[in-house]
A and B are shown apart, each in its own frame.
Chain A
Amino acid sequence: MQTGSGAGPEKPDVALSLEATDLAWGPPGRAPLISGVSFALTPGDRLAIVGPNGAGKSTLLRCLYRLHRPLAGAVRVGGTDLWSLAPRLAARKIAAVLQEAPGDFAFTVQEMVDAGRTPHAGGIAGRAAGARAVAAAMRRMEVSHLAGRAFSTLSGGEKQRALIARALAQEPGVLVLDEPTNHLDIRHRLEAVELLRGLAMTIVTTLHDLDMAADVASKVLVLRAGRQMAFGPVSGTLQPALIRQSFDVEAEIAPRGPSLRFDYRLPERRADSSAESSE
């Protein structure tokens, strides 16, 4: 797969490399939720993190956007350890689009996107650059006409676009997204895929759907029960054996254009249920 060559139309050189080495995190005093996670992305790579529910996908993301400090291992962005950076500086390198509901505060879309400038320095010059970045991000995500609308009155797709616009206004080198296609209808899901492929930055996203992962990503990381099952290019990595091990389903894979399509069925069970416990 080509990496780093698919630069978008604007700002081709903002993408940063992202690297995790032997990453582990868990709540204090309990068993780690993820451990031994390692991957390396070159600038412009798009990584899909997949795995069954409870595999630790969101936990891994939280380590990447500096919410959880790793118990072991490290995250490096552009070659620098994430935790050696001041929070504001880190927020200028890595932006995140989360599923967190923004609460009850009547923010307009403009104000929402403007919050993306929080980590950037103020000053008169900074303010002008900030206004430009906000306007560009809103145009890019096609939410300019919604600027004065209250965020809470938007549709699911519009909300998602406004949140991505906020992340773009941060002008990051890495964009982290938590299930960006959840709650989107078919049309908006396809638009989201296209949009992610058009962004000129390193992208890490969790996804439920393997079809989607194959469409969006250049690389894939498979998690199961907090352990990394595989990491590598999508087509070479998502093989039937791995899918069976990770998701407990039988899968058939068919190439479709440049991408892949997956068919699943439940594994056949023997009369005794020993298969379950021996797994």
Chain B
Amino acid sequence: MAIIEPAAPTRARRHRVLLPGLAVTALLLGAMAGSLAVGSARIPFAEVRDILLSRIMPTGAAPYWKPGIEAIVWDLRLPRILLAALVGAGLGMVGAAMQSATRNPLADPYLLGVAAGAVLGANLAILHVGDILGPATTPLFAFAGALGATLVVLSIARLTGSTTADRLILSGVAVSFVVTACANLLILFADQRSAANVTFWTLGGFGAADWSVLPAPAVALAAGGAWFLAKRRDLNALAMGDETATTLGVRVARARLLHMTAGAFITGVMVSVSGMIGFVGLMTPHLVRMVVGGDNRLVLPASALVGALFLVLADIVSRTIIAPDDLPVGVVTGVVGGLFFVLMLRNRAGG
């Protein structure tokens, strides 16, 4: 009856985690490198490599490539790829954190109305306010919108006397509808040209990326990631249930509010630089948990890594599938994510 216990379960686990971790990192770097070469203009890998090297460690050697090619690699594609990775990492991590904080594996910034709030804020900034606060206007408005929507969702859940995780999702969906309607109203009242721009932006994409766009999402990812990792034990406890978390010394309502606010902050910034990109936050934590288990010490960084990989790949698809035109990335992730969702339902029914 008694089974001989493995000598060191933690060490076995570390191996189980280390290998996929290295593999995903290698895949991510490979995808980013590949992404630099593909697109409406194909550029040989060697040339991409030499352009990067000459930029990072200038040797003074005369370039053998056309300045146009260098501009495509360095000024267009590289910031775009980095942005895709940053946004994917941010959304993947926020998804993992929000799923734990609401104890609902279906939670993500989109279902909880956070992203809709961010879009509303961003629409307001782009269409009606202008850059009154400088270049940070749109991210700040998006954050404010995301935070506002989060607070509304939380207070609805509270007012209706249902702080349970399921009700939280339902009120998130409800708020999402209302907020999206308001965002659409803003588009209706804006002038035709910018309305078309905003609509395209809302669909999600990295076409507008340049180097100046990157600091905001990088800071948001670093700050948010540090916060969530520091609070990983609280997140684990919340995922085990509100009462259990209470018995473990977590102030549940306060902790949830803080984590949702942090999630709104990251989501707001990511939406403001890339529009609505759904399913990353929902999907990646699921895939990750299948491999590493439920502990957020591993789930958070792994979700960031897999989210980054997913969006870099999605961006390659979006740039090549109808080249020379861009397909909005949100369309790609929507299709992939929807299919994934159906598969998940099937597996759950089967299991």
Chain A residues within CB distance 8 Å of chain B: 62, 65-67, 86-92, 94-96, 98, 100-108, 110-112, 114-119, 144-145, 147-148, 150, 170, 176
B residues near A (Cβ < 8 Å) are: 2-6, 9-10, 12-13, 99-100, 103, 105, 233-234, 236-237, 239-244, 246-251, 289-290, 293-295
B293 lies within 8 A of A107 (CB): yes
Which 7 pairs of residues, A with B, have the shortest CB-CB distance? A91-B249, A119-B249, A88-B249, A145-B5, A107-B294, A105-B294, A147-B9
Q: Are A119 and B248 in contact (CB under 8 A)?
A: yes
Task: Determine the chain A residues whose CB is within 8 A of the CB of B10 once the complex forms.
Answer: 110, 147
A148 and B248 within 8 A (CB): no
Partner of B105, one of A86, A100, A105: A105
Closest chain-A Cβ to B250's Cβ sits at a distance in Å of: 7
Q: How far is the CA of A66 from the CA of B3 in the complex (A)?
A: 38
By beta carbon, the residue of chain A nearest B298 is A111
Q: How far is the CB of A1 from chain B (nearest CB, A)?
A: 28
CB distance from B132 to the nearest CB of A (A): 42
* Chain B residues positioned under 8 Å from A86 (CB to CB): 249
B236 near A90 with CB under 8 A, answer no
Q: Contacts of B5 on A, CB cut-off 8 Å?
A: 144-145, 147
Residues of chain B lying within 8 A (CB to CB) of residue A96: 243-244, 247
Which chain B residues lie closer than 8 Å to A112 at the CB level?
A: 240
Q: Are B246 and A67 in contact (CB under 8 A)?
A: yes
Question: Besides the contacts A88-B249, A106-B294, A111-B293, what 7 more A-B pairs have beta carbons closer than 8 Å?
Answer: A87-B251, A100-B240, A105-B100, A106-B289, A111-B295, A145-B6, A176-B247
Whether the Cβ atoms of A106 and B293 lie closer than 8 Å is yes
Give the residue of A89, A91, A111 whose beta carbon is less than 8 angstroms from that of B247. Answer: A91
- Note all chain B residues with C-beta closer than 8 A to A91: 247-249
**B12 and A107: CB pair below 8 A?**
no
Bound: A103/B99 CA distance, A: 11
Expressed in whole angstroms, the Cα–Cα distance for A118 and B252 within the complex equals 13
Q: Is the CB of B244 within 8 A of A102?
A: yes
In whole Å, how far is A91's beta carbon from the nearest beta carbon of chain B?
Answer: 3
B239 partner residues in chain A, CB cutoff 8 A: 102-103, 105, 107
The reply to whether A118 and B237 contact each other, CB–CB distance below 8 Å, is yes
A-B contacts, 10 listed (Cβ < 8 Å): A65-B247, A67-B246, A87-B249, A90-B249, A98-B243, A102-B244, A110-B9, A115-B240, A144-B5, A145-B3
